[in-house]
Structure 1
């Protein structure tokens, strides 16, 4: 059995390093509760002492204890006997007031430490669920891209009010103010780590967006594949959207659970959001960027006072594609309402690569 001096020495030794870790430890609540219980014990002992030595009623004794420990000291009650004064000196002045100061200091330090963890991306938001989880961030123009992406999310119905969390190693000190003020939190860590994926509540997310670190580097697809495989192991019901830098890697990413796969288009994060809320639209949009597939064609023809629905019907009946917009002196009018009366100098239509359509054919179509 250790001698009492050794026990005291070990306690003091442990206190030296425990004081640096107690606020990040799961035992802090227990530690704080012990301090509160000890404070209540001192109040109870002092109240009993005042009842015994000063012959005060319990309510008056408790009132004297509270006003003493909080240093308010109204003066309506005070200890006059030797025993009462000695009890007050030991229990309140020596122990109680110091303990109350320690409690306040510990709580403030805990709150500051918690705030620092949140700023630096080390805080685990255990209660977060049904959120949008963004994994990885672009290596270049990160802040500008995230601003565009998150602003678009916030402007989109049905998802604009969802919590957003980012898993990235980019911001190890704190998120830029422009991003944080959009209601975003982050967790600092490598996405290729199951502990980090669990820390951002992957299993309870509603949407997961896996971004490519480098939009033109095929190696990014390997990193994305690894992240997707880890998410699959963890398990989630979220709709997963992943970026693929190379089309041939799409089947591999899809096999790992990616529901939507898009090319990294950094200038237009709106395309990514459209694909997220309406899966399948990404293939339509990407198809339009390839001239050897469906593409837009402009026809410079004049027309006047035609219903938009009649223009669409005429185009489809004559196999001239699908009108998307018309052009007049105000500019390009995209997808007008069916009963809109249109006049203009040109039309934009979605056509197949195999179709050869001339202005004369379109003009004849409108005159029919």
Structure 2
């Protein structure tokens, strides 16, 4: 018995941080203890009683099931073993239910507060939290894309302490911390990520570009270390910082600086143009712009454009990416190489695949 108590104290001490494990170990050890005690108290009275039967009786009694196939027949078995087994069993059962509930609540709370390590692959990471509405719009736009409709999304931010309810409903995972720190990026499983979006912490403050540059540089270092392509898009606040941001290794740099001013003027000059921009920039409806590999073959721009027009697919060829430079609406005799990319407008990239295969 002394050996049993010493073993119990040792296990109990090493599992004090986990209530659920503690209670399960306690229940198991008490089940064995009551089973052994019942066996020695009843074996002379009940012929054929085995130790396994006694342990079974202890489990049935502790869980208040009470099948009645085995029961105590001696005074010791009834009052010194069965009584404590039933009373303690009820307490253990209640405590076990409470421990399970506490563990589940604690896990949910830690998950909402971004304290858990993410275990994902091929997910998308959004760094910084400029506001719930903006983050939600970015996620909604990604989810409208057939390619990323089911991709898990992780938000990293030190600005908030708990994930907003709207983002919880969108099944976004959260990691609390500064995304410029490597250990925080590792916590979000950046090594297994498919892409990283770096939003400006404060879209009204050009100083936010410095933070975005630092985050992008960290991600780029991980990318170089793994020799893996992690696509990275950075939001730029000020065009004056574009040269600096290019040095971060970002694949794409997006800035609204100056665009709104031009769009206001264009809307005044050509009423309705604002709606055109909204449609081509969103996956919500209509057609969008896509940059796709040239699968139509080499030839003049006019020839390739005619091929798209004559096709039943809803694809319009509007430009070319030639040697890294975007050229919209080039001349009809502009030569397009097989290594160039095409700028198209279509309701879905699948339309272009049908065109290329025809």
Q: TM-score range by the shorter chain?
A: 0.5 to 0.7
1:108 corresponds, among 87, 97, 101, to 101
1:244 corresponds, among 228, 236, 239, to: 236
1:147 — aligned with what? 136
SS in 1 for 2:196: strand
Q: Give 1:171 shift.
A: 4.0
TM-score (norm 2): 0.62
SS at the partner of 1:133?
strand
In the alignment, which of 149, 153, 163 is matched to residue 174 of structure 1?
A: 163
Match of 2:178 among 190, 208, 216: 190
After superposition, give the CA deviation of every residue in 1:104-159 in whole Å (9 maximum; x if it has no partner). Answer: 2212101111111222333322x212110000132xxx333223221221121222
Is residue 338 of structure 1 aligned with residue 326 of structure 2?
no
- 1:1-368 equivalence runs, <5 A: 27-28=17-18, 32-55=20-43, 56=46, 57-58=49-50, 59-85=52-78, 86-90=80-84, 92-93=85-86, 95-125=88-118, 127-138=119-130, 142-177=131-166, 179-234=167-222, 235=225, 237=228, 238-264=230-256, 337-339=309-311
Pick closer, same or farther for the CA change 1:121–1:148 going to 2, 3 Å. same
TM-superposed CA distance for 1:281, in Å, is 5.1
Distance 1:151 1:106 in 2: 38
Q: 1:260 & 1:60 partners in 2: Cα distance?
A: 69
Contact 1:120–1:188 under 8 Å retained in 2: yes
Q: Quote the offset at 1:43 in angstroms.
A: 1.6
Matched-pair contact (CA < 8 Å) for 1:149–1:269: no
In the TM superposition, residue 206 of structure 1 has moved relative to its aligned partner by: 0.8
State the distance in 2 between where 1:34 and 1:115 align: 20
Gaps of 5+ in 2: 1-8, 261-276, 284-288, 293-299, 313-326, 331-358
Deviations 1:331-359 (A, max 9, x none): xxxx974357xxxxxxxx9558xxxxxxx
Match of 2:274 in 1: none
Runs of 4+ with >6 A deviation: 265-270
Number of equivalenced pairs: 268
In structure 2, C-alpha distance between the alignment counterparts of 1:158 and 1:189, rounded to whole Å: 29
Query: 1:304-353: CA deviations, max 9, x gaps?
Result: xxxxxxxxx9x959xxxx999xxxxxxxxxx974357xxxxxxxx9558x
SS of 1:261's equivalent? strand
Instruction: Give how far 1:164 is off.
Output: 0.4
* Partner deviation per Cα, 1:20-68 (whole Å, 9 max, x = no partner): xx6xxxx52xx64343233222222222222222224235423321221
Contact persistence 1:163–1:184 (CA under 8 A): yes
Q: Distance in 2 between matches of 1:270 and 1:108?
A: 49
TM-score (ref. length: structure 1): 0.60
- CA drift of 1:165 comes to 0.8
Question: Which structure is larger by alpha-carbon Rg, 1 or 2?
Answer: 1
- Going from structure 1 to structure 2, the CA distance change for 1:173 and 1:246 (only over 3 Å counts) comes to closer
Query: For each residue in 1:181-207, what CA deviation from the matched residue of structure 2 results, as whole angstroms up to 9, or x when unmatched?
Result: 332122233323333222212222110
* Alpha-carbon separation, structure 2, partners of 1:134 and 1:272: 19
- The answer as to whether partners of 1:262 and 1:272 remain within 8 angstroms in 2 is no
